Structure 1
Amino acid sequence: MLDDDERLARQEACWLIKEFGAEAPLYAAMKAEKAIEQKDFGRCARWKRILEILADSTPVSSATAKSAASKY
């Protein structure tokens, strides 16, 4: 069973894929970077988890997602 944080991260990842397609990992990486700049490490961790989900679930852009996730 998934906890609420994991469920929300998966929902966000699905929405990003629908909304941005192959660019979803880039959008998530930008959000993670903004969270770091604002020193909001909880939000950064959430976006990093979303990047990991995107890397595991999008075969077309998994290399892009994995490289973006590796930065954080």
Structure 2
Amino acid sequence: MPGSGLDDDERRARQEAHWLVKEFGAEAPLYAAMKAEKAIEQKDFGRCARWKRVLEILTDNGSPARRAAK
């Protein structure tokens, strides 16, 4: 996306975070943390970094997951 300011990894992480909130609501951060842990166990550190970014997006103040939890 020219001019969007987001690289592909960031865009993918935001899409994943949005999907998790849609599917799991307030439990979305827990799911992302579990996926990151599984990636660490498998020594897939690139995938772990992506899931950790998804978790950061989900736990930011004002995120959809925070609103769903209220």
**TM-score (normalizing by structure 2):** 0.82
Higher relative contact order (CA 8 A, sep 6+): 2
Identity rate of aligned residues, in percent? 84
Q: Which amino acid aligns with 2:7?
A: D
Please, which runs of 5 or more residues in structure 1 have no aligned partner?
Answer: 62-72
Counterpart of 1:59 in structure 2 is: 66
Equivalent residues, number: 61
Q: Which amino acid aligns with 2:66?
A: P
Counterpart of 2:15 in structure 1 is: 11
Q: CA RMSD in A?
A: 1.0
Please, which runs of 5 or more residues in structure 2 have no aligned partner?
Answer: none
Counterpart of 2:6 in structure 1 is: 2
Runs of 4+ in 1 over 3 A off after TM superposition: none
For the pair shown, which has the larger CA radius of gyration, 1 or 2? 2
